[in-house]
Homo-oligomer: A and B are copies of this chain.
Amino acid sequence: MNTDQADDALLALAQSFREALRQSVYVMRRLDSEEQLSSAQLGVLKMALDGGARVGGIARNLGVKVPSATEQIIKLERAGLVKREADPDDSRAVRVAATAAGRAAVENADRRRNEFIAGILGTLSQAERDAVRAALPVFDKINHSVQN
């Protein structure tokens, strides 16, 4: 197998991969459209569960800029799902912590979304589920490549 053939195979795989990416965005939209809590907000909220996430950390972790994180945090705060308090160690920083209501909202949203996806996965064959399971860590790895 010469280099060109290898490249072609890689490009063909890339094309299929991109198609899957496109579809993923669509699936995410569907998942979001049925719920009170958006994916963006759920992502922030999950990070606030441990009780002391900083705005910059949240933004970095979600792959968005700091003002975008702030925006979501403010919405969650208005909804009573998180509270913002000054970081005792660094007064420039803000600690974002989930409230009890926030914790409950995460559990609820997570459960509903998982059940929706599980319902689809349940219609697949065992072999198909195994294929998905095997690919997920690789997807994770690809994502980290993109981040850098």
Contacts and interface: CB of A to CB of B under 8 A. Distances in A.
A10 interface: yes
Given A63-B26, A131-B135, A138-B128, A18 B113 contact: yes
Interface residues of A, number: 55
A15 B114 CA distance: 6
| Copies of this chain, tallied across the complex | 2
B141 A13 contact: no
A41 to B, nearest CB: 13
A145 to B, nearest CB: 5
Contacts of A25: 24-25, 28, 39
A118 B20 contact: no
A132 interface: yes
B10 A121 contact: yes
A16 interface: yes
Max chain B C-beta neighbours (<10 A), residue from A114, A117, A128: A117
Interface of A: 7, 10-11, 13-31, 39, 43, 62-63, 110, 113-118, 120-124, 128-129, 131-136, 138-143, 145-147
